[in-house]
Amino acid sequence: MNTNPLLLQFIPEARDLLDQAGRSLLALEREPGGPALNELFRAVHTLKGTSGLFDILPLTRVVHAAEDLLDAVQAGRLALAAETADVLLDALDQVGAWINGLDEAGELPGTAETAADSWVVRLRAPLSVRDGQEQSRERPAGEAARAAVPDWVAALPHAEQHACAAAADCPLFAIAYMPDANCFFRGEDPLALIRQVPGLRLSRIEPRSAWPDLETIDPFICALRLYAIAAADEAELVHLFRYVPDQVRIIALPAEWPNPAQPGTADPDSLKLVLEGQRRLLRASGPADLLPGRLEAAAQALQGTIHAIERDDLADALAAASDAARTTGAPDALLAFIDRLSADPPAEARTGVAEKGGDHVPVAAAAGATTAGAATLRVEQSKIDALMNLIGELVVAKNALAWLARQAESGTLGPRELAREIKDRQSLVNRIAEDMQGAVMAVRMLPVEHVFQRFPRLVRDISRRLGKQVELVIEGGETEADKNVIEALADPLIHIVRNSLDHGLEPPELRAEAGKPASGTIRLQAAQDNDNVVIRVIDDGRGIDPAAIRRKAVANGLIDAAQAESLPDEEAVKLVFAPGFSTAETVSDLSGRGVGMDVVRSAVEKAGGRVNLTSRKGQGTTVELILPLTMVVTRIMTVAFGERLFGVPMSMVVETVRMPRAARHQFRDRETFVLRDSVVPLVRLAHLLDLPPEPVADDGEEAILVVNVNGERLGLVVGAFRDGMEVIVKPMDGILAGLRGFAGTTLLGDGRVLLILDLRELVG
């Protein structure tokens, strides 16, 4: 569990930087020498710098090695070969995995140290071939991190920190021991090991993550993390943990621990550093027009310094030196002043007041809230502003209600006027509510880019593995849709693109024979179409052979030979969406895993969308996903059945008709009716839900809701039609989640719960 606010900030930032780096790297492969190299370098550089703030040395080392590699590329000492890009991408993946671990466990796994070693070697390999001296660039990165106090130590209660440090005759070490989950099977006893720590001052045991439910706990798995502070010899500690070196981190605590760093303590080192800085500034050889600025800056800094060290008695001397420097345009007088100041250090009576402490706040006090994996949404400022304005309006509208209540109480308004006033207010509140709904919806809108951005990498990796040349073209990534829709889109799209890569696009030699360019093209297009977002995956591959599909469908028993014969080509290719259909002749490791396009179809339909496919043999295939822009608000039609009310999603409703009972026909074992010259099968809601049969209306007519289920028209016999309304459908949860036939529930204005029917499940 991770409660360090700085780390909480770091994790999403690191993920962004990794994303950006990955994208730039792919762009760079396509267009070497483009601006992507700078972006890539900056992302990796920033990540390295920021990671240095934390005790995650292995991660910093890997990023650092990646930066050195890129540095060589940027300086033109190394060309970015595809193999090098592979290593970089894999290394970034590793860093991403560590960031996820950091998010969940608050620290890197014990194996990170050794993993980092091999990553550094891999990342440096292209460099060492070229130029041996690069090795020497590895600096003791994270030196400061090593000297820092680990978070868990800083989070200890103050009294315990002091008790540990009291009368320590040896240096103090902080030991963090994360035993391997399977350590018990190797005969290791973490608790015994911690007990044997020489000079043990403190020990702590905690679960690595929140305990699971009692019934799911596996007592043979070690789920603990052990901490200790010991006053001992480092060699002794290393010896004790010699069998589990990868699971233990031993960190020397700084000598001044646990006394918190005093802000502003003018220790001699800082003073020396500052004075040396001013010397270098004054001696610097930058552009001449900056010289006056540099002189002023140094003079100002020195003035601050003498004030800070309470040597204001030197103020006159400094003013004289500054004037001399200004008039001569040369730094000599100021340099002489610095020499004088360093030779005559401040009267150091300042250490006495240091121990004031007590206001030091441990970092990790605010435990409890689990933030792991919390879904965050990034929102443009303007969208939030729009929402804020509406809230303002709502507050005003709310105040008007109080005024109305007073009017009603005092009786100054008659019932008629009062009713009119209430209606006015209601319409105002209604408008604000609608606007707010729109504004919140806008907040949830994300560009499709969000899903598209993973494809360049995916296409690159797969096409390299398949030995195909593929160009991916992305269009309309800025099209926006609701976050849920975007998320629902990801898996089906990956499947479709993989299919295109694997089965659609031909190997270069076959393409050449067919007179096509050696490199195939996959287009990912997004566009908005009324209330839908339309995503197309277009490839220029071999297309789907309708004859092969017919054969396969007949062989699988989906249709009989006669049906296959009469099926037009464009309908035949759509058979790939039929459950259990798969045309792959050989099962490749990519998409031939027994899940076919039917999974794509059901995933898209679950999100309220539909799939289309067109294909021309030899020319390519286009798969089209049509999804609603938002899944939050659903228009439903309510239907009554006796006392009960049910909702049907409006997207499925074709029309409502009333038919005399006599108009029904029995067609084999099914009831049907004729609607404008076509025969439509009838289904009774009572039958579907196992309700008692509905009483026949006086006029002998039945209410039939004509719906479209899985592309087929159906008449659903209900009791009566009620209103259409916009509702927010809540999915069934808890024990009801397993209930089939219902898409969810919503609350009605009178407080009743309305069940929304899932006709696909009920009828299918």
Partner 1 sequence: MKAALIVDDATTVRMFLRDILERAGFAVTEAMNGLEGLERVLAATPPPDLLMVDVNMPRMDGYAFLRAIRAEPSLCAIPAIVMTTESQEQDAQRAYDAGANLYLTKPGRPAALSAIACLLAGIPRAGAAEERAK
Nearest of 569, 579, 578 to residue 545 by alpha carbon? 569
The helix or strand, by DSSP H or E, that contains position 529, with its residue range, turns out to be: strand 520-529
DSSP state of 350: -
242 binding partner 1? (CB under 8 A): no
Retrieve residue 382's tokens: 């303007």
Q: From residue 357 to residue 376, what is the string marking binding to partner 1 with x (rule CB under 8 A)?
A: --x-----------------
Q: Which residues pair with 757 in a beta bridge?
A: 742
Q: From residue 337 to residue 356, what is the string marking binding to partner 1 with x (rule CB under 8 A)?
A: -------------x--x--x
The helix or strand, by DSSP H or E, that contains position 532, with its residue range, turns out to be: strand 532-539
* φ/ψ of residue 586, rounded to 5: -110, 140
266 binding partner 1? (CB under 8 A): yes
Other CB atoms within 10 A of residue 171 CB: 15
| Minimum CB distance to partner 1 smaller for 45 or for 225 | 45
| Minimum CB distance to partner 1 smaller for 9 or for 118 | 9
Contacts of 421 (CB under 8 A, 6+ apart): 404, 407, 413
Supply the minimum distance, in Å, between the C-beta of residue 342 and partner 1: 13
Supply the minimum distance, in Å, between the C-beta of residue 68 and partner 1: 11
Nearest of 663, 661, 673 to residue 699 by alpha carbon? 661
- Span near partner 1 by CB under 8 A; candidates 282-290, 421-429, 480-488, 529-537: 282-290
Which three-class secondary structure state does DSSP give residue 605? helix
User: Could you give the CA distance from residue 68 to residue 70 in angstroms, rounded to a whole number?
Assistant: 5
453 and 486 in contact (C-beta within 8 Å)? no
User: Could you give the CA distance from residue 681 to residue 692 in angstroms, rounded to a whole number?
Assistant: 21
Supply the minimum distance, in Å, between the C-beta of residue 116 and partner 1: 17
Please report, as residue ranges, which positions from 144 to 203 form the binding site for partner 1 (by CB under 8 A). Answer: 144-145, 147-148
296 binding partner 1? (CB under 8 A): yes
Supply the minimum distance, in Å, between the C-beta of residue 77 and partner 1: 15
Task: Tell me which amino acid residue 89 is.
Answer: L
Residue in the block written with tokens 């103020």: 315
Retrieve residue 502's tokens: 């694997």
| Minimum CB distance to partner 1 smaller for 206 or for 323 | 323
| Minimum CB distance to partner 1 smaller for 241 or for 257 | 257
Q: Which residues pair with 602 in a beta bridge?
A: none
13 binding partner 1? (CB under 8 A): yes
| Minimum CB distance to partner 1 smaller for 277 or for 724 | 277
* β-pair type (224-231, 248-252): unpaired
CB-neighbour burial class of residue 618 (10 A; exposed 0-12, middle 13-18, buried 19+): middle
Supply the minimum distance, in Å, between the C-beta of residue 132 and partner 1: 18
User: Could you give the CA distance from residue 399 to residue 406 in angstroms, rounded to a whole number?
Assistant: 11
Member of 195, 307, 420, 665 binding partner 1 (CB under 8 A): 307
633 binding partner 1? (CB under 8 A): no
| Minimum CB distance to partner 1 smaller for 11 or for 663 | 11
Nearest of 121, 112, 120, 95 to residue 245 by alpha carbon? 112
The helix or strand, by DSSP H or E, that contains position 263, with its residue range, turns out to be: none
Member of 278, 463, 532, 634 binding partner 1 (CB under 8 A): 278
Task: Tell me which amino acid residue 470 is.
Answer: V
293 binding partner 1? (CB under 8 A): yes
Size of the site for partner 1 (CB under 8 A): 61
* β-pair type (480-482, 520-529): unpaired
User: Could you give the CA distance from residue 102 to residue 218 in angstroms, rounded to a whole number?
Assistant: 23
User: Could you give the CA distance from residue 347 to residue 310 in angstroms, rounded to a whole number?
Assistant: 9
- Span near partner 1 by CB under 8 A; candidates 226-234, 281-289, 430-438, 616-624: 281-289
Supply the minimum distance, in Å, between the C-beta of residue 45 and partner 1: 5
Supply the minimum distance, in Å, between the C-beta of residue 1 and partner 1: 19
Member of 34, 157, 207, 292 binding partner 1 (CB under 8 A): 292
Supply the minimum distance, in Å, between the C-beta of residue 52 and partner 1: 5
| Minimum CB distance to partner 1 smaller for 287 or for 557 | 287
Supply the minimum distance, in Å, between the C-beta of residue 294 and partner 1: 5
Member of 97, 121, 221, 284 binding partner 1 (CB under 8 A): 284
- Span near partner 1 by CB under 8 A; candidates 3-11, 79-87, 433-441, 485-493: 3-11
Could you write out the three-class secondary structure of 273-320? HHHHHHHHHHHCCCCHHHHHHHHHHHHHHHHHHHHHCCCHHHHHHHHH
700 binding partner 1? (CB under 8 A): no
Cα–Cα separations (whole angstroms), residue 402 to 63, 395, 419, 646: 61, 11, 15, 36
Q: From residue 41 to residue 70, what is the string marking binding to partner 1 with x (rule CB under 8 A)?
A: -x--xx-xxx-xx-----------------
Contacts of 137 (CB under 8 A, 6+ apart): 68
Member of 78, 309, 445, 451 binding partner 1 (CB under 8 A): 309
Please report, as residue ranges, which positions from 464 to 523 form the binding site for partner 1 (by CB under 8 A). Answer: none
- Span near partner 1 by CB under 8 A; candidates 196-204, 265-273, 508-516, 547-555: 265-273
Supply the minimum distance, in Å, between the C-beta of residue 67 and partner 1: 9
297 binding partner 1? (CB under 8 A): yes
Supply the minimum distance, in Å, between the C-beta of residue 358 and partner 1: 10
Q: Is 268 left (phi over 0), alpha (psi -120 to 50) or beta?
A: alpha
378 binding partner 1? (CB under 8 A): no
740 binding partner 1? (CB under 8 A): no
DSSP state of 730: B
Positions in the binding site for partner 1 (CB under 8 A): 5-6, 9-10, 13, 42, 45-46, 48-50, 52-53, 139, 144-145, 147-148, 261-267, 269-271, 273-274, 277-278, 280-281, 283-287, 289-290, 292-294, 296-301, 303-305, 307-310, 350, 353, 356, 359
